[in-house]
Amino acid sequence: MPITTTVITGATSGIGKETAMALAKKDHAIYLLVRDTERGEALKQEIATATKNRNIYVVHCDLADLESVRNAAGILKSSLLGINVLINNAGGIFDERLESKDGFEMTFAVNHLGHFLLVQSLLPILEKGQARIINISSEAHRMAKPNFNDLQWVKRPYSSWKAYGTAKLFNIYFTRSLALKYGPKGISAFALHPGMVNTGFGAGLTGFGKTLMWLARPFMISAETGALTSVYLASAARIDTKSGKYFKNRHPAGTSAAATNEVGRDRLWELSMELIEPFLA
């Protein structure tokens, strides 16, 4: 049986780490796209020791630096004939408005735009691998009120949770666009809510955000449990007919009304393509 080649962003902790570990146990060849390569190498050794899987590789990729994303995609394209699974797992929430190296609002850059460029840059080998693209979204998408005239949060007061919710809505838009545009080329795409997971997520929050996370902690699930839907979507047979859908607990689930907005979905694609255009050459 051919080895399944899986690429995961943000795999050095939390559900990303548990997803990588679980898929390594299923004999996937795992490419860890990480910002901190020292932590990535440590995880590689941990996975190899735990699973006896030696097909674990580390590639530097900082989603807040589009040049880094382009370089990571170049390494993968020179190393692989095809990718079977791409899990866009990395993400984050920020207590104040920060900017990426390229001048984009950090929540938008890390949760959406970096992954958008990664997919566009990897399209040739995603097509060859008949890939499943899995985007980690969240029920936080329900609080989103996207403003396409101010994607970078410069014209209105910054809200960490609204910015995060908007980025998670964009993950769903992106998923549905991928399913529509690239489904005929053999690519399928899925979005998912992993659950309220007890990880380091939101560790940098202060004030109300910190209090909210503290109140929620007793109800949170483990990272291993939070990874179950990602692992399911990466490994289950015959789910391509559900491409474009949003999953919870390994089953398709409903979304907010805003997530079904085709105008917003298409506008996000158009603006994202404009923003990454300088990095596609």
Given 3-state DSSP classes, what are the helix, strand and coil percentages for the chain, each rounded to the nearest 5? 50, 15, 35
Q: What SS3 state is found at 53?
A: coil
Name the active-site residue from 31, 164, 182, 232.
164
Distance CA 28, CA 144 (A): 35
Q: What angle do CA 106, 275, 127 make, to 5 degrees?
A: 100
Distance CA 263, CA 256 (A): 15
Distance CA 52, CA 46 (A): 10
Residue 164 falls in the annotated catalytic set: yes
Residues 138, 255 contacting (CB under 8 angstroms): no
Q: What SS3 state is found at 122?
A: helix
Residues 6+ away with beta carbon under 8 Å from 117: 66, 69, 70, 73, 276, 279, 280
Distance CA 167, CA 161 (A): 10
- Tell me which amino acid residue 266 is: D
Name the token pair of 173.
């838009």
Distance CA 10, CA 16 (A): 6
- To 10 degrees, the CA torsion angle through 259, 261, 262, 266? -70
Report the catalytic residues.
164
